Amino acid sequence: MADVTLMKTPAETALAQAFESAKTLLPGNVESRAQAFEKFTARGLPHRRVEEFKYTDLRAAFREVAPFAGVPTAEEAKAALAGAKTLAGIEALQVPFVNGHFMREAVDFRALPENLEIVPLREALANDHEWLAHLSPVPWAAENPVYQLNTSFMADGVMIRVAGPVEVPVHLRFVTAAETAVATATRVLVVVEEGASVTLLETHESTDGAGHQPNDVVELIAGDRTNVQHVRVNAEGGKTLALSTLAARIGAEAVFNSINVVAGAATSRHQVFALLNGENTNLRVNGVTMLKGLQHADSTLVVEHNALHCESRELFKTVIDDEATGVFQGKIIVPHHAQKTDGRMMSAAILLGEGGTMNNKPELEIFADDVQCAHGATCGQLDDDLLFYLMARGLPRKEAESLLIQAFLGEALEFVENETAREALIGTVEGWLRARS
């Protein structure tokens, strides 16, 4: 076979240059970054002919690469955090990031809740902290180009250790507040030890006017008999290109419940890679996506049942207005040894106008013979008969539509255990509906 020299896009060239100039300045081991970047470079930015990126062409989305954000000044950080309102009504331990940098001044390390430890990632990388061994808990996530980019460029983040029950939720608050477009790469590692429990809130916000390029990875290692509740909100600004990954490895008899609510960003892709690594574990991954204008949102999910008797449930609800595009790709993998698996995955979308698009791609890869797996995908409009019924009772069309949309999305929100968080998410849905009418 002849050697093929791959042409680089301007964005790929810019990324290579950025990596060359940044790699020695970034904290920690250059080798592991270089390896990740090499893997990324071998295939480049994924485009529509790459199966997993068929519906979200990153080569097309990244016309140019924004410069990586520097550390904000104290005033900039303060202003940015003051303006961040997503899930602000929930009493929680704030772990804020501004422009991709952990704001350690905002955390009182001497007064952390019981059973909780936090180590700034920058320090950990520089000191070769022992917890670094826990990074990359889902081995095959490392094959993903978005993840590889994060590994190459990750500049900051935190490592959190949960050693027992933590009562107060931990709020990972990501704010990008630069006036001109910046790129960020943040990594958060959460290690939940055997029998421990924690609620993680994760919110992403950015200024509206600039095409920021955040690439955030949250990694979770949850031990046996752990309970982790995770509520994530994408409230990014209207021009932001937001890439994110949740990689989770869960032990036996554990519960992990994650929801991602997407209301923001011009283009977003949230990837969930979950590895069920112990028996009798219960996983729920839900999504609520609300899109309008020319927004594009991709929810990509791979769940591997790597042990007996695990249950996984995925419910994704998408509402698409105007000419927006939604993507759902969900894959459940059940190898030979994962007998008695019970997996159910559902994606349902409602198109409100004529111009919207929904791409649903559910996949099952089942090698075991004693399993129950189901998937479904629907795409439709609001039911005219229901609309008429509501209007005949006096509700104007938009209100009738709002009520039906709320009911449709509400099904996926029901599983949020933290009541205040659930109410706040319902408020997010209501806000989106109000903006539309």
Partner 1 sequence: MLEIKNLVVQIEDKRILNGLNLTVNKGEVAAIMGPNGSGKSTLSYVIAGKEDYEVLDGEILLNGENLLEMEPDQRAAAGVFLAFQYPLEIPGVASMTFLKATLNAQRKARGEEELTTPDFIKRVNAAAQQLEIPKDMLKRALNVGFSGGEKKRMEILQMALLQPSFCILDETDSGLDIDALRIVSEGVNALRSPDRAFLVITHYQRLLNHIVPDTVHVMHSGRIVRSGGKELALELEANGYADYRDSEAA
Chain contacts with partner 1 (rule: CB under 8 A): 384-386, 388-397, 399-400, 403-404, 406-408, 410-411
Q: What is the nearest approach in angstroms of partner 1 to the Cβ of residue 396?
A: 5
Cα distance between residue 11 and residue 60, in whole Å: 10
Q: How far is the CB of 373 from partner 1 (least distance, A)?
A: 25
Reported as half-sphere exposure (CB side, CA atoms, 13 A), residue 208 has a value of 2
Of the candidates 377, 359, 302, which has an alpha carbon nearest to the alpha carbon of residue 54? Answer: 359
Q: Nearer Cβ to partner 1, position 71 or 403?
A: 403
Q: Please identify, using beta-carbon distances, which residue of 79 and 386 lies nearer to partner 1.
A: 386
Give the nearer residue to partner 1 in terms of CB position, either 164 or 410: 410
Q: Which is nearer to partner 1, 242 or 400 (CB)?
A: 400
Our CB check for partner 1 shows the closer of 77 and 400 to be 400
C-alpha span between 148 and 17 (Å, rounded)? 16
Who contacts 8 (Cβ-Cβ below 8 Å, separation ≥6)? 16, 44
Rounded Cα distance, 201 and 88, in Å: 10
Kindly state the smallest distance separating residue 411's Cβ from partner 1, in Å.
6
56 within 8 A of 298, measured Cβ to Cβ: yes
* Phi and psi, residue 163, nearest 5°: -100, -10
**Helix 384-392 to helix 397-413 angle, to the nearest 10 degrees?**
120
Report the distance separating Cα 273 and Cα 331, nearest Å: 10
Considering the complex, what minimum distance in angstroms separates the CB of residue 397 from partner 1?
7
Q: How near is the Cβ of 388 to partner 1 at its closest, in Å?
A: 5
Shortest distance (Å) from residue 405 CB to partner 1: 10
Name the phi and psi angles at 21, rounded to 5. -80, -20
Contact 357, 326 (CB under 8 A): yes
- CB 399 to partner 1: min, Å: 6
Minimum CB distance to partner 1, residue 378 (Å): 14
Q: Which helix (H) or strand (E) holds 409?
A: helix 397-413
The smaller minimum CB distance to partner 1, of residues 112 and 391, is found at 391
Tokens 């059973």 identify what position?
A: 115
Provide the token pair at 304.
């591997």
Q: Are 183 and 66 in contact (CB under 8 A)?
A: yes
Residue number with CB closer to partner 1 (36 or 429):
429
CB within 8 Å of 39: residues ≥ 6 apart = 142, 143, 148
Q: In the complex with partner 1, which residue's Cβ is closer, 190 or 390?
A: 390
